[in-house]
Amino acid sequence: MIEFILNETDVSTDLPPGMTVLDFVRYHKDLKGTKIGCREGDCGACTILVGELIDNEVRYRSMTSCLMPLANAAGKHIVIQQTDRQPPTANRQLVSGGTDLYVQRHDEMAESAAMPLLYNEELRGIRDTGEHIEIGASATVTDLLESPVMNAIFPDLYKHLKLVSSTPIRNMATLAGNFTNASPIGDMTVWFLALDAEITLMPGTQPPSAAAERPLKLRDLYQGYKQLAKQPDEIITKIKFKKPNADFRFNFEKVCKRTYLDIATVNTAISLQSEPPAVSGGLTRISNVHVSAGGVAPIPLYLKETSAFLTGKEVSEETIATGNEILQSEISPISDVRGTEQYKRLLLRQLFKAHFVELFATESNE
Buried b (16+ CB within 10 A) or exposed e, 75-97: ebbbbbbeeeeeeeeeebbbbbb
Closest CB to ligand FAD: residue number: 177
Residue 141 Cβ vs ligand FAD, minimum distance, rounded to whole Å: 7
Report how far apart, in Å, the C-alpha atoms of 213 and of each of 94, 206, 208, 209, 210 are.
18, 11, 8, 7, 5
Please report, as a single letter, which amino acid is at residue 215. P
What's 193-224 look like in SS3?
A: HCCCCEEEEEECCCCCCHHHCEEEEHHHCEEE
Q: Binders of ligand FAD among 124-183, rule CB under 6 A?
A: 137, 164-165, 169, 172-174, 176-178, 180-181
The number of beta carbons lying within 10 Å of the beta carbon of residue 240 is 19
Residue 234 Cβ vs ligand FAD, minimum distance, rounded to whole Å: 7
Distance separating alpha carbons of residues 77 and 215, to the nearest angstrom: 55
Residue 349 Cβ vs ligand FAD, minimum distance, rounded to whole Å: 22
* Nearest Cα to Cα of residue 46 among 110, 107, 101: 107
Single residue of 186, 300, 323, 333 touching ligand FAD by CB under 6 A: 186
Q: Is 200 in the site for ligand FAD (CB under 6 A)?
A: no
CA dihedral 85, 91, 92, 95 (to 10 degrees): -120
Residue 187 Cβ vs ligand FAD, minimum distance, rounded to whole Å: 4
Q: Binders of ligand FAD among 64-103, rule CB under 6 A?
A: 93-101, 103
* Nearest Cα to Cα of residue 72 among 108, 111, 19, 27: 19
Name which of 33 and 204 has its Cβ closer to ligand FAD: 204
* DSSP-derived 3-state class of residue 228: strand
Site mask, ligand FAD, residues 212-241, x = CB under 6 A? Answer: -----------------------xx-----
Residue 273 Cβ vs ligand FAD, minimum distance, rounded to whole Å: 26
Q: Is 295 in the site for ligand FAD (CB under 6 A)?
A: no
Residue 190 Cβ vs ligand FAD, minimum distance, rounded to whole Å: 8
* Residues at the site binding ligand FAD, with contacts judged by CB under 6 A: 93-101, 103, 117, 137, 164-165, 169, 172-174, 176-178, 180-181, 186-188, 235-236, 263
